[in-house]
C-alpha cells in the first residue's frame, strides 16, 4: 500500500479516488477481489459522482434506521465480499465488535482460496471468528451455484443481514427466508437497493464508519425508542429522496453552477 501511496502524488486532485482504485487493484493481484469487482467499482464511482462523493441526507436517515435495526437484532450478521473486505474491512470488524455481530465471508464468485484470504485479512484487522470459509454448508433456497452457500452459524441463523455491493437475487432470496436485509449500494436503482429493507445509498468506505458512530450513539436507547426509529422509516421514501437529491443537484449544476464547477477543476 505504501508503494501505491508514493506513486500517486498527494497533490493530485483525485488522490483519494485514485488510491481507492489502487487498493482494489492490489486486492485483485492478491486474489481477494475478482476482475468483475473492478467493473462493479467503476459502476459505483459513477453513482458516487452523481451524489457529489459525500454522504447525502437520505443516506444518513438510512444509516440511523440501520443502526437501530442492527441493535434490535437477535443475531445480526455482516456479510463480506472481496470489494468490501478491501475497502472497508477494518471498519467492518469494528462494527461487528460494537454490535457483537457475526461476520461471514459470502462470495458471488466463490472459491475456497478467496474465502480463506478474505477471512485472513479480516482476522488481521482483529476479527476473532469469521464464518463462511469451510462451514458454508447450507444453501439459500433458489440460489444455484456456490454463491448460494452460507454458514449454519452465520447468515443461515441471522435475523438481520448487512450486505454491501450485493446482487439483487441474493437480497431477494434472503428476504424470502424471512431475514431483514440492510444494503449499502451506491446505485439507488439496483435490484439490491430496491429489494432491501433498508438501503444506504453511499460509498461503503464512508457508510461503514458512519454506521459504527451511529450504533455507538444509539446503543443506550431503550428498545421502544429503537423500534420507533424503525417504524418511522420508509425505504421507498428514502430512495425517492435520493433520486430527487440527484435530480436537483444535476439540475442546479446544469442551470447555475456548471461555470463554478469548471472553475473548480482549474480550467
Ligand atoms: O467478491 P464477490 O465474488 O462476492 O463479487 C463481488 C461483486 C461486487 C463483483 C459482485 O457482488 C457483483 O458483481 O456486484 P454487482 O452486481 O456489480 O453490484 C455491485 C453494486 O455495488 C452496484 O450497484 C454498484 O453501483 C455498487 N457499488 C460499487 N462500488 C461501491 C458500490 N456501492 C457502495 N460502495 C462502493 N464502493
For the chain, the structural domain boundaries read: 2-50, 57-240
Q: Is the pLDDT of residue 219 over 90?
A: yes
Q: Whose CA is nearest to atom 5 of ligand 1?
A: 108
pTM of the model: 0.94
What does the pLDDT read at residue 255? 83
CB of 204 within 6 A of ligand 1: the answer is yes
Q: How far apart are CA 240 and CA 184, in angstroms?
A: 16
For residue 193, the ligand 1 atom closest to its alpha carbon is 23
Residue 226's nearest CA partner among 110, 82, 48, 76 is 76
What whole-number percentage of the chain has pLDDT above 70?
Answer: 97
Query: Residues 119-133: pLDDT tens digits?
Result: 999 999 999 999 999
Q: What is the 257 CA–ligand 1 centroid distance (Å)?
A: 31
What does the pLDDT read at residue 2? 54
CB of 24 within 6 A of ligand 1: the answer is no
Query: Residues 1-58: pLDDT tens digits?
Result: 555 555 777 877 777 888 999 999 999 999 999 999 999 999 999 999 999 999 999 9
Q: Give the H/E segment covering residue 93.
A: helix 82-99
Query: Measuring CA to CA, how many Å separate 243 from each of 169, 195, 248, 256?
Result: 23, 16, 9, 20
Q: Which CATH architecture fits 57-240?
A: 3-Layer(aba) Sandwich (3.40)
Amino acid at each position: 500500500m505504501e508503494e501505491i501511496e508514493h506513486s500517486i502524488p498527494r497533490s493530485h486532485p483525485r488522490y483519494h479516488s485514485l488510491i481507492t482504485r489502487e487498493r482494489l487493484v492490489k486486492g485483485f493481484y492478491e486474489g481477494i477481489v475478482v476482475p468483475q469487482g473492478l467493473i462493479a467499482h467503476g459502476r459505483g464511482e459513477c453513482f458516487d459522482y452523481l451524489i457529489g462523493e459525500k454522504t447525502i441526507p437520505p443516506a444518513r436517515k438510512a444509516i440511523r434506521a440501520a443502526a437501530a435495526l442492527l441493535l434490535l437484532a437477535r443475531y445480526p450478521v455482516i456479510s463480506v465480499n472481496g470489494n468490501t473486505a478491501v475497502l472497508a474491512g477494518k471498519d467492518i470488524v469494528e462494527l461487528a465488535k460494537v454490535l457483537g455481530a457475526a461476520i461471514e465471508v459470502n462470495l458471488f464468485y466463490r472459491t475456497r482460496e478467496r474465502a480463506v484470504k478474505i477471512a485472513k485479512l479480516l482476522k488481521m484487522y482483529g476479527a476473532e471468528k469469521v464464518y463462511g470459509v469451510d462451514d458454508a454448508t447450507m444453501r439459500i433456497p433458489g440460489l444455484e451455484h456456490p454463491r448460494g452457500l452460507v454458514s449454519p452459524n452465520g447468515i443461515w441463523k441471522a435475523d438481520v443481514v448487512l450486505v454491501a455491493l450485493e446482487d439483487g437475487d441474493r437480497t431477494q432470496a434472503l428476504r424470502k427466508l424471512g431475514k431483514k436485509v440492510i444494503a449499502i449500494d451506491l446505485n439507488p436503482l439496483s435490484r439490491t437497493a430496491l429489494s432491501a429493507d433498508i438501503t444506504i445509498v453511499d460509498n461503503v468506505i464512508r457508510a461503514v464508519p458512519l454506521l459504527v458512530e451511529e450504533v455507538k450513539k444509539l446503543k443506550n436507547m431503550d428498545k421502544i425508542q429503537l423500534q420507533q426509529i424503525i417504524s418511522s422509516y420508509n425505504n421507498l421514501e428514502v430512495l425517492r429522496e435520493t433520486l430527487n437529491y440527484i435530480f436537483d443537484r444535476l439540475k442546479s449544476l446544469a442551470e447555475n453552477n456548471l461555470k463554478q464547477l469548471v472553475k473548480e477543476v482549474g480550467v
